[in-house]
Amino acid sequence: MRSAHDLVREARSRIVELPLPEAATWRPDGVLVVDVREPAEYAAGHVPGAVNLPRGVLEFKLEAAPEWAKRQRPVLLYCQTSNCAALAALSLLQMGYTTVRSIAGGFDDWVAAGLPVEKPALSAPR
């Protein structure tokens, strides 16, 4: 029987994980940056320009949106620590997406490196 860690290890052997310095500058034309964490995590702070497509609905949401469903479009994925993003990257490769990358170390390492974080503006009380 395989564990979740076995699945992540297998995914990592089949995908491309970008180290932080490269991930921070990897922006080919039309890249879709995807945060696969839950909405509350995304709302607390995310990579600038990222869209939130949680891991549980990622494949369905991508296929439902014509602007995201182009399988030749470059996709950069991340999660908190990079485990879920690795699984998501493998899933997208299996769906036929051709240029999929994952951020090694995830959002935790992104923040620790002092890279920019976008947070939604707070509404003024009424």
The pLDDT score that the predictor gives to residue 66 is: 86
Average pLDDT of every residue of the chain:
94
Task: Fill in the amino acid letter for 92.
Answer: L
Task: Determine the average pLDDT of the residues in 18-26.
Answer: 95
Helix axes 83-94, 4-14, angle to 10 degrees: 60
The pLDDT score that the predictor gives to residue 81 is: 97
pLDDT range class, residue 34, cuts 50, 70, 90: very high
Task: Determine the average pLDDT of the residues in 73-95.
Answer: 97
CB–CB of 101/58 below 8 Å? Answer: no
**Residue bearing tokens 């299996």:** 94
Q: Which domains does the chain have, with CATH numbers?
A: 4-112 (3.40.250.10)
pLDDT higher than threshold 70 for residue 122: no
User: pTM of the entire structure?
Assistant: 0.92
Rounded Cα distance, 63 and 13, in Å: 25
Catalytic residue among 62, 79, 87, 100: 79
Task: Tell me if residue 84 is catalytic.
Answer: no
How many CB atoms are closer than 10 A to CB 10? 14
pLDDT range class, residue 67, cuts 50, 70, 90: confident
pLDDT range class, residue 123, cuts 50, 70, 90: low
